[in-house]
Amino acid sequence: MSATTTPADPRAVGTAVACYTLWGVLPLLFMAMAAHGFAAPEILAHRAVWSLFVAVPVVLLAGQWTEARRVLASPRIFGWLILSALLIGANWSLYVFATTHHATLEASLGYYINPLLNMAAGAVLFREKIDRWSAVAIALAAVGVVIQTVALGHVPIIGLLLALTFCSYAVIRKRVPASAQTGLMVECLVLLPIGAVFLIWLAAQGQAVGFSSPSGLAWALFNGPATVIPLALFAWSTRRLPLSTVGFLQFLAPTLQFACGLWAGEHLTPLRGLSFVFIWVGAAVFAVAAFRRSRAARQAIRIAETV
């Protein structure tokens, strides 16, 4: 991370909390849209279309239009962002389907294990070291997934695919020399034709809820800021916070998603609850280990500066 300020920068912490809170309550938007007659594919199409109209002003306000033009002019970078767009589109599809089909609890499981999957991917792809406590965290999460499989009677495929698609997306974006805002704008540009063609087809069939009334259009348009604003907050805050703080705060989103699932009346059996206990303990071990690593690194830097 660059442009790092003090580890306890209250503005950056507040911005990160706002980001993860918005991501955590996002299921409520999709649940409300489903209650107003929107099907999951139409929600996804509106998200793909209207996000671009928010992403472009964000790039302009950030002074990154020159970077955006450079990215679009580079076949290699643009090609990688096409792939990342398809991955984030698949992730959005799974998430919208889960939150509109009473599977928000399973979706939250995916985002609990995602940081642990990122850590495993870092070890395999980037030769990053996994210490003992991080290995324990991954093992606890794995036990939680096994218990959830037994509780559900099938593999929690939605949760696992959410974690896998977002982890793959993160790996690609780590390799692409483009800022978060510029990358998102290009990804929205890639997804725009897919969403637009589907909405045009729905409208021709007379089935586009988003174009049937002013209230329907308002719900549809709200997908733009609901998608882009949290990502903009994420990009700003993560550049100013240590990884340990980010690692701890990122568990706020799936915790709120879990609460949304309970609020919506999704069934939580004792055995399924036990699976989440293992996930939560693994997340806590991960966060504490990340904090200790960050503190040790800062101490080493202070000692080196003193010497």
Local mean pLDDT, 10-residue blocks, the chain (307 residues): 48 87 95 95 95 93 92 94 94 95 92 80 72 82 87 88 89 84 92 96 93 94 92 78 69 91 92 90 80 69 69
Single-letter amino acid, residue 198: F
- Spell out the domain ranges in the chain: 10-306
pLDDT in tens, 170-200: 888 878 888 888 998 999 999 999 999 999 9
Q: In sequence order, what are the residues at sequence separation of 6 or more whose Cβ sits closer than 8 angstroms to the Cβ of residue 279?
A: 109, 112, 113, 140, 141, 144, 145
Per-residue confidence (pLDDT) for residue 27, from 0 to 100? 96
Instruction: Tell me whether residue 49 is exposed, middle or buried, using C-beta atoms within 10 angstroms of its C-beta: 0 to 12, 13 to 18, 19 or more.
Output: buried
Taking the C-alpha atoms of residue 208 and residue 96, their distance in angstroms, rounded to an integer, is 17
Reading the block at residue 274, the tokens are 């036990």
Contact 268, 258 (CB under 8 A): no
Token pair, residue 177, equals: 């020399």
- pLDDT, position 8: 46
Q: Under 8 Å CB-to-CB from 247, ≥6 apart: which residues?
A: 115, 286, 287, 290, 291
- Distance, in Å, from the CA atom of 166 to the CA atom of 147, rounded to the nearest integer, reads 23
Which of 92, 94, 133, 91 is CA-nearest to residue 116? 133
Residues 6+ apart with CB under 8 A from 286: 115, 116, 119, 133, 134, 137, 247
Find tokens 């918005």 and name the residue: 22
Q: What angle do CA 162, 223, 13 make, to 5 degrees?
A: 70
Q: What is the pLDDT of residue 3?
A: 40
111 and 169 Cβ atoms separated by less than 8 Å: no
Residue ranges of alpha helices (H) inside 126-242 are: 132-152, 157-175, 180-204, 214-221, 223-238
**pTM metric for this prediction:** 0.84
| Category of 177 on φ-ψ map: left (φ > 0), alpha (ψ -120 to 50) or beta | beta
pLDDT of residue 103: 93
Cβ atoms within 10 Å of 59's Cβ, excluding its own? 21
